[in-house]
Structures are given as C-alpha cells and as structure tokens.
Amino acid sequence: MKLDVGASYIIQNDRNMTNQGVYSNPIVPVYLFPRGDDFSLVKSFERWDAARKIHTQFWPQGEGDYAMQNPYWIAYRNLRTNYKKRYMLSASLSYDVTDWLNIVGRVRVDNTHTKYEQKLYASTLTTLTEGSSQGYYAIEKPDQRQTYADVLANINKRFGDYSLVANIGASIVDNRYEDLSYRGPIRENGIPNVFNVYDLDNNKKRARQDEWQEQTQSIFASVEVGWKSMIYLTLTGRNDWASQLANSSSTSFFYPSVGLSGILSEMLPMPSFIDYMKVRASFSSVGTPYPRNLTTPTYAYDETSQGWVPKTHYPIGDLKPERTNSWEVGLDMNLFKDFRLGLSWYLANTFNQTFDPKISVSSGYSTIYLQTGYVRNTGIELSLGYAHRWRDFAWDSNFTLSHNKNEIKELVRDYIHPETGEHIWKDRLEVGGLGKAKFILKEGGTLGDLYSQSDLVRDDKGMVHINDAGGLSVTDNLPDIKLGTVFPKANMAWNNRFTYKGITLQALLTARLGGIVYSATEAALDQYGVSERTAAAREAGGVLLNGRTLMNPQTYYMALGGGSGIPQYYTYSATNVRLQEASIGYTIPRKWLGNVCDISVSFVGRNLWMIYCKAPFDPEAVATTGNYYQGIDNFMLPSTRNLGFNIKINF
C-alpha cells in the first residue's frame, strides 16, 4: 500500500491588469496624445481644487472619442485590485492486490477565494462613474471550488505472446461558484475618495448574487492487447452523466475510441538504415456538454429595474451534447541511428454545435437555442529530429510543422421549431467581432472568417465619391466583403539544444504562416493624425485619390479611421517568424558538491527577437480566449520580452 499526499497554497495580488480596450487603458491617451504638445506637462496628473478641497484630475486634452483620461490618473486613481488566495490539496492511495493488479483511489481539491475592488476617484470621467463627480466603488467576492475524485483498477499482465494493460474506474468532478458583489456611483453629497458601500447612490447602487453548480459523474475503461510486442489493439470507452443535460432527452453520453498500431520493424525485414518503424491508426468519438441552464426556464435579475425578467431565449429540451468524431493515421520512424521522423494525418467532424439565431418575436422570445452545424478539420503534423553525440559535445534538433484546414460544411438546414413547427434555415450567422469588422459564419467558410460591410462611397465606375463639401462619405451597408481568416495556414517550430560537458545552449525558432489580423488601434491613430502614415501624407501635401485629386489628409484619414475604421484598410498578414526562446546554462557536477546534490543555473529569455512581421502588433498576442475575437487589436498592450534566471537543485 502506498499513500501520496500533496498541498500547495498560492497568494496572488495584482492591480490594474489591462489587456486591451478603451476604458481605463492608459495606452489610449499615450498613443493618441498630440505629437506637438509637451507630454511632461501632464505628468503632474492632479491639481488641488480649492472649492472641493480635494485633488482632481488634470487632463486638458479632453476625453475625445475614446474616453481618454490622464494616463497617470488611470494608473494611480482608477484602481482595480485582485487579492486571490488559492489552495490545492491532493491525496492518492494505491494497493497492490497482486503483481499484476492494483487499485488506486485519488482525490483533489482546488479552491480559490478572490476579493476584487474597483475605486474610481472623484473627477474620473463620468462615463465610467455612471454620472457621479464623486467617484465610483465596486467590491466583489467570487469563490470557486472544484473537487475531483476517482477510483480505478489497473491490470498489467502477460499471457505468453500476449500482453494486457487495462483499467476500469469511475470518477466525479464537482464545480461550484458563488459570487456576491455590490457596486455603484458615490452619491453627490457623499464623501469623495472614501470607498465603502454606505456612500453609494441609493438610486443607482446595485447588488448582485450569482451561484451555480456543475457536476459530472463518469465510468470509464480501457484495454490494450499486445501480441509479441509488435501489434497493439487499444479500446476505450467512457460514459458521462453531466448536470448540464438536466431536462433534456439525453441524460448521459458515451464516447468510445479504438486504435491499432504495429511495429513493422519487428514484423518484417527492413533495410539497414531503418532502425524502427511503427504505423498507427485510430478512431475516437468525444462528447462535450452544452452550457448549463439551456434546457431550464430561468429568470434573470435586471439590476436597472431591480426586478426579475424572463430570459429571451426559448427553452428547449431536446439538446444533445456536442460530438466530435476523429480519425487519425500516423507513421513513426528512426533512421540512420540519429534521425527521427513522425507523420500524422487527421480528420475531425464536429456535430450538434449550439447556436442561438433570432426567431419571430410572435413566439414571445427573440432567439432559440438549436443544434445543427457540421464543421470539419483536416490536417497533417510532421516532426523531424536529429540527435548525435561526439564525446563531450551533443546536438539535439527537432523540427515540427502542422497544417489544419477548417471548413463549415453545414450551418442550419431545415431545423423545425419543436413547438411552432416553424422551419428555420440559416446560411449566414454573425457571431462576433469589433465595430465594423465582423466574424460571419458561412457554409464553405471557416470559423475564423472576418468580413466587412463598409467602405468609402464610390460611383458606378468604382471611383471614390467626393461630396459637395469636399469630404468623403462612408457606407456600412455593402454586401459582405471577405477579408480573410484569422486562422494560420501552418505553424512551424525548430528547437536546437547543444551541450558541452556541463554547458547547455538552447534556441527555439517559431513561425506562423498565413492568416490575417485587424487593428482598430491603427484606425484610431489615423483618425487622430498621429500615425506615421498621416505624417507622410501631410509632408506630401495630401492623399492622392482617384489618380487625380489631392485630398486633405485630415479629411481622408478621419473618414478612413473613424468608428474603429474601415476594416479592409486595417487588415494585415499575420505571418511572423521569431526567436521564441533561448537559454544558456551550466550544471555544477555532484562530485564538486560532495555528492550531496547537483545544481543547474540557467539564464532564459523568451520572445526575444521578431525576425519577420508585417503586422503593426504581435499576431500571436492573445486578446481573449473567446472564439470570435481572435486576431483583433484594440489598444492591446504590446507583447514583452522576458528575461530571467533559473536555479534547480537535485538531491
């Protein structure tokens, strides 16, 4: 019998974490600050207001179109703090019944307690304080608790030429979330900059309480049978009972897999240069539950009216878990003693995706949850490796290439409303984006296709129309203009590791090939006349339109960049090549330390050198984890280079 226990405790405090966006983002006023003005004047970001007897914000530039404030005021007087405490406990008990059978039970607890506060000082932009000149305060205390437990029996036994590796078990995962928050503007007769819930405006303060629980109970099993260490057949099966399926026609879902592999180099005579050859093929079917409460009629609390209102989604009970069926074949080889080759091809079809398109308002609802859709992903993955040692010197190199093609085979075709009998067809769905750049799903397209419906108004000959006032007009009602997909055509990586005695040198190059990105930041820079393009246009005396008309740069770029910009003018290739990581280290031998331990010290750098990139921002920077906001820059913080030391002690 063996008992393993573990525990960890993490305390994390952060302030003013900003990814991108306009509100409370200090880089917005920095980027758009007039180039001819003296920035040092606004470093003293607050002034004493004798009438109010408090310090107030100093920002003579005004808020403009982007809710701008003094960037120092944002940093020191628009405070958003998180205090997070997380503890994780784990335990595992295993018992060897025989030399080929053991039973294991495991449990893991992961709890996180967070306190979030937002303090906006008096004279903060009233757009952010809900109209109050005294400031704004919010406090929120979310708690997340996850418990996981399983028990399984493991078998590992040989029967002559046959081997058997199997397990069977059951598991439960329970997720709980509780959140209580209180927020609102500080009342006009309240005490400014003293942040508490008592000073909030009684007519505008809002309390919110949220609580939910998700639980999945599962049974699972896997069997791998081998013959003469040459051929292996693997079967797995799992059945999940997920709480999200409550009130639906499917109370659980089963997903199996089967795989077959053979080591040809053990079965057949091979040329001398082939050291190892393995072929493999597999099929798997994976189910995923849809979000909670889709099949249960619920009410939402309206913080403004302070009353309960029914949700506008039509509740429907015949939803099914999302299903992905995948096929894969592959080849693994070792050649000439030092070379490695891996090649895989896969195809994955995803069904039962959940959409919520608009329906007739006569039903009493604005949208309906329905499941249809058929999305296919096909791709290849290639890896090449080389490893060799020359006495004290060794070189290990590995190159990987991956390519994936995403295609929407079907959206919504003749879906029949279960109550009204209405036939629902959808060959186009708008699912996200920013401003005039829209993610639109269409059959034959991808899940990452970005479109525009805007452009400068043109005449019948395609020439830009200049109105009677000498200005330009923008239309937002054009047929869909496809800009491209945010998905790459391929990704590559090449890692090299050199060692000489105790010294190690490692370098990783990565590349993304293809895809597009869109920058609303560049549009704003043009609108405010602070980009390199607008400076060049001013120096040139204007922008040449239609090959014959010299247009005032301010007129042209305000039309082009206003309102998050006309997307096709601010779309860029996402192709980039970079030195992703490099390190140099040294291991102090154990014998130098009295055979007590060895110590490894290394200097590590990440995101060190952008070798090639045409986009005005880092295409690999992640703005959000959401599906339909990838590849969009809206005053995103610049990506950074990271340098650090690692020390590792092995006893």
In a domain, 192, yes or no: no
pLDDT digits (tens, 9 = 90+) for 577-597: 999 999 999 998 888 887 888
In a domain, 615, yes or no: yes
| Residues 408 and 431 reside in one and the same domain | no
Buried-exposed string 544-556: b where 16+ CB fall within 10 A, e elsewhere? ebeeeeebbbbbb
In a domain, 534, yes or no: yes
Give 575-603 as a 3 state SS string.
Answer: CEEEEEEEEEEEEECHHHHCCCCEEEEEE
CB 231 within 8 A of CB 246: no
Residues of the chain with pLDDT below 70 are 297, 304, 311, 315-317, 357-366, 418-419, 623-626
| Residues 338 and 459 reside in one and the same domain | no
| Residues 431 and 421 reside in one and the same domain | no
Strands (E), 160-294: 162-185, 206-227, 231-242, 253-263, 274-288
d(CA 497, CA 444): 43
| Residues 354 and 233 reside in one and the same domain | yes
Q: What are the residues facing 171 on neighbouring strands?
A: 150, 218
In a domain, 133, yes or no: no
Q: What are the residues facing 182 on neighbouring strands?
A: 139, 207
Which pLDDT does position 625 carry in this prediction? 63
| Residues 629 and 640 reside in one and the same domain | yes
| Residues 462 and 599 reside in one and the same domain | yes
In a domain, 562, yes or no: yes
| Residues 313 and 353 reside in one and the same domain | yes
Which pLDDT does position 290 carry in this prediction? 84
In a domain, 420, yes or no: yes
Domain boundary among 425, 458, 473: 425
In a domain, 203, yes or no: no
Given phi > 0 = left and psi -120 to 50 = alpha, else beta, which region is 537? alpha
Give the count of domains, the chain.
2
Q: Which domain holds residue 492?
A: 427-651
Other Cβ atoms less than 10 A from the Cβ of 283: the count is 13
Which pLDDT does position 526 carry in this prediction? 96
Query: Which tokens in the block code for residue 429?
Result: 């769905």
Complete DSSP assignment for 543-563: EEETTTEEE-HHHHHHHHHST
235: domain CATH number is 2.40.170.20
| Residues 487 and 589 reside in one and the same domain | yes
| Residues 350 and 493 reside in one and the same domain | no
| Residues 396 and 479 reside in one and the same domain | no
d(CA 252, CA 259): 24
In a domain, 535, yes or no: yes
| Residues 368 and 432 reside in one and the same domain | no
Domain boundary among 375, 407, 425: 425
How many CA atoms lie less than 13 Å away from 580 in the CB half-sphere? Answer: 14
Domain boundary among 410, 425, 440: 425
Which residues, other chains included, contact 485 with Cβ-Cβ below 8 Å and sequence gap of 6+?
406, 445, 446, 448, 449, 450, 515, 516
